[in-house]
Amino acid sequence: MLFSIPTLAIAQQGEEPLPISLDADSSSFDRDSNLVFFSGLSIAQGDLKIEANEAEATGLDFEMSEWIFSGNVRISIDSTIIRASTAEVSFQTHELSTVNLLGDPAVFEDFSAARAIDIRGGASILEYDNQARTLRMTDGAWLSEGSNEFRGCDLIYDIDEEKITSGSSECGEPVVITILPPPTD
């Protein structure tokens, strides 16, 4: 089942809005709760794609809606792929706003043709902020770039800048960085 919603878009200054497309194996609407249910769902808008086995939404109005995705959640944002068990997604003004992902762990990979080594990371909880384009990892957070690894209770990865910072230190755990020198020839 394909839903094309041409009036919904990411509007950037001076650019034409991008449509949001929704493709699902099946859908149903519960009039009493005003919720829409989907199975085999895929939502795409520009370089953003969200896929899951199931989803529940407060409506098809992407102006202001809340979605819960479950089962094999996969989110692609440019060169970054995030995988999780469940995701709570907010859309505001026809644009993805925030995503809270849970997993055991929830993981991401950032592939870049300009960089020889992929960046990978994960935690029990990932929070993606579309405005800042950052991934906040909490509860068992780790990030690796090749053989170099960061571990802590709260790490923040900036997708555009490709840099990592430590977040809150309220958990009492230090950030641990392991840097392995390259092998000698």
Domains and CATH numbers, the chain: 2-178 (2.60.450.10)
With cut-offs at 50, 70 and 90, classify the pLDDT of residue 134. very high
Taking the C-alpha atoms of residue 46 and residue 20, their distance in angstroms, rounded to an integer, is 8
This prediction's pTM = 0.83
Higher-pLDDT residue of 132 and 113 is 132
What pLDDT score was predicted for residue 181? 80
DSSP 63: T
The closest alpha carbon to 163, from 113, 112, 106, belongs to 112
Q: Are 98 and 87 in contact, with CB atoms under 8 Å apart?
A: no
Per-residue pLDDT for 127 more than 70?
A: yes
State the Cα–Cα distance between residues 97 and 69, nearest whole angstrom. 15
Tell me the mean pLDDT in the region 7-22.
58
Please state the rounded mean pLDDT for residues 27-48: 92
Cβ–Cβ < 8 Å for 137, 157: yes
- Report, as an integer, the average pLDDT of 104-115: 86
Q: How many CA atoms lie within 13 A of 3 on its CB side?
A: 20
| CA–CA dist 139, 84 (Å, integer) | 14
* 54 CB-near residues (< 8 Å, 6+ apart): 37, 38, 39, 41, 69, 70, 71
Angle at 11 between CA 93 and CA 163, to 5 degrees: 95
